[in-house]
Amino acid sequence: MSVYGFIGTGNMGGALAQAACQAVDPADVILADHTAAKAEALAARLGCRSGSNEEAAAKADLLFLGVKPHAVAALLDSLTPVLEKRKTPCTLVSMAAGLSVSAVQAMAGGDHPVIRIMPNTPSAIGQGMILYTCGPDVSDEALHSFLTCLSRAGRLLALPEGMIDAGSAVSGCGPAYADLFIQALADGGVACGLPRSAAQELAAQTVLGAAALILETGRHPDELKDAVCSPGGTTIQGVRVLEERAFRGSVMDAVIAAYEKTLELKN
């Protein structure tokens, strides 16, 4: 039976902790945060335990690091004495953008097994897209425990580490782009006379349904788009306007810009 520790219970760390408590026994989950009351309140709601950073590092088989990238080095430096005293290895799970597996290992002061992940905000409701890559020292048992722990957070996709940043530019940043599109769809509906609440529900469910159709059928988005665009119909006229205004090119440029920014932050 594995024990799961979460240091940092902000938006993402808290969302993954919530998913973990739905997938494994909450008694095996320890939450820690620099604001102890925050971890205590979340632990009470989820039915798990709260404790100090050191307690989580001492007891957890998988330790999720849910702090900002600039804070990882100081956190791991403070935990190094605890990690060195352990009789069994602790697998570190880092969600810090731009920090490689080898960088996290160096900050922890040893060859600790590291799983690098890039989750996204829909993980909070079990609809996330979580990218992950494993360092060479991650055992099959640790990987199984990791996949079990996050099984309720959404889909998990293994990628080579060299592709994690590109993947995050799509799935990590993508919810913001999708939110803009949903807002724009709803605004268009309001402009046509719909009440705001109805327009937002129509837009959100339409995007959700279109995405689910791609995932469940495996059909290409272009094929599904063509199925909606009847000859001489209304949809093709809307598509024409989007193409005239470089909709697809703009989205591609947004993904590339996010990727390039990530590379800048690593240097």
pTM here is 0.91
CA 201 to CA 197: how far, in whole Å?
A: 6
What residues have CB less than 8 Å from 244, skipping those under 6 apart? Answer: none
Domains of the chain from N-terminus onward: 4-164 (3.40.50.720), 174-266 (1.10.3730.10)
Task: Please say if the pLDDT value at position 267 is more than 70.
Answer: no
Q: Region 35-40: what's the mean pLDDT?
A: 94
Span 204-250, pLDDT tens digits = 999 999 999 999 999 999 999 999 999 999 999 999 999 999 999 99
Show the DSSP H helices in 100-173 as ranges.
Answer: 101-108, 140-149, 161-171
Q: Closest Cα to residue 262, out of 69, 1, 38?
A: 69
Considering the chain, what percentage of its residues have pLDDT values greater than 90?
89
Q: Region 100-115: what's the mean pLDDT?
A: 90
Span 242-254, pLDDT tens digits = 999 999 999 999 9
Task: Please say if the pLDDT value at position 109 is more than 80.
Answer: yes
With H, G, I as helix, E, B as strand and everything else as coil, classify residue 129: strand
The encoded tokens of residue 103 equal 């960088």
Q: Is the four-CA dihedral 116, 120, 124, 126 of positive or negative sign?
A: negative
